[in-house]
Amino acid sequence: MAELVPFAVPIESDKTLLVWQLSSGPTAEALHHSLFTAFSQFGLLYSVRVFPNAAVAHPGFYAVIKFYSARAARRAQKACDRKQLFQKSPVKVRLGTRHKAVQHQALALNSSRCQELANYYFGFNGWSKRIIKLQELSDLEERENEDSMVPLPKQSLKFFCALEVMLPAYDCSSPGIGLVEEPVDKVEEESGKIAVEYRPSEDIIDVRCEEELHGLIQVHCSPWKQYGQEEEEYLSDFSLEEEEFRLPELD
């Protein structure tokens, strides 16, 4: 059965691995590199985070690893649990299970991560994209307010973008539209302008009008800062399958 891998920050428990009993010898940076090398063999990784053990436990580290694919996370857990991997002693690897009462809103991936994910599954030359339409909507709102007795200051910057992603090998394409908005008081005032570079491909023959796009896809309105926001690791929300996640106790 095919697996659906959304272009979103992976927060699901079945895409999260908890790794502990990591040696205290290497530095956190060295462990990060070793973990990334070992687990990226099973699928594309979203993040690898290494933490020192609690003060009451033996010296050492534990890690939280996030995959985009739940299937890849399961393969990695089965293959790496109780294996030495890159150290002399075996490590423990478990899938996280989030408490049912805890829910977090999914965050969209930023542009660079979207391209990384597309390149991994479709290949570097296996997909392409083109901008159909890019428009600043905040100016339209200003013109609507010109007829009022008291001009209203610009409250926010709002942009609309229509984009099409194409998969030549499968002879298919998918249009998408979105809105992004940010309050003016959070925008840098020194520059006075926001530059948006638009580079349409030379081989564009037809451009879909708004009527063609309407009803095909859903519009998402998101704050601008969301796309630079790093997803937090909700460690307190996770427990482990088969065994409670706990660090070794002192003798």
Domain around 44: 13-95
What pLDDT does residue 226 have?
A: 52
What tens digit of pLDDT does each residue of 98-128 get? Answer: 655 456 677 888 888 999 999 999 999 999 9
Q: Which of 140, 167, 183 is the last residue of a domain?
A: 183
- Say if residue 57 is in the same domain as residue 88: yes
Q: Which of 68, 95, 122 is the last residue of a domain?
A: 95
Helix (H) or strand (E) holding 171: none
The CA dihedral of 9, 1, 173, 170, to the nearest 10 degrees, is 130
Question: What is the C-alpha to C-alpha distance for residues 159 and 137, in angstroms, rounded to an integer?
Answer: 5
Residue with tokens 């630079």: 228
pTM over 0.75: no
Q: How far is residue 168 from each of residues 4, 92, 174, measured CA to CA in Å?
A: 20, 43, 12
The CA dihedral of 80, 86, 91, 93, to the nearest 10 degrees, is -40
Here the CATH number for the domain that contains residue 32 is 3.30.70.330
Q: Is there a contact between 225 and 110 (Cβ–Cβ < 8 Å)? A: no
For residue 55, is it within any domain?
A: yes
What pLDDT does residue 105 have?
A: 72
- Say if residue 31 is in the same domain as residue 77: yes
Q: Is there a contact between 201 and 160 (Cβ–Cβ < 8 Å)? A: no
- Say if residue 21 is in the same domain as residue 88: yes
Q: How many structural domains does the chain have?
A: 2
- Say if residue 118 is in the same domain as residue 172: yes
- Amino acid occupying residue 201: S
Q: What integer best gives the mean pLDDT of the chain?
A: 75
Beta strands in 140-226 (DSSP E): 156-167, 172-183, 221-223
- Say if residue 19 is in the same domain as residue 91: yes
- Say if residue 55 is in the same domain as residue 85: yes
What pLDDT does residue 54 have?
A: 85
**What residues in the chain have per-residue pLDDT under 50?**
101, 187-210, 212-221, 224, 228, 230-231, 233-251
The CA dihedral of 234, 236, 239, 240, to the nearest 10 degrees, is 60
- Say if residue 53 is in the same domain as residue 26: yes
* Helix/strand/coil percentages in the chain, nearest 5: 25, 30, 45
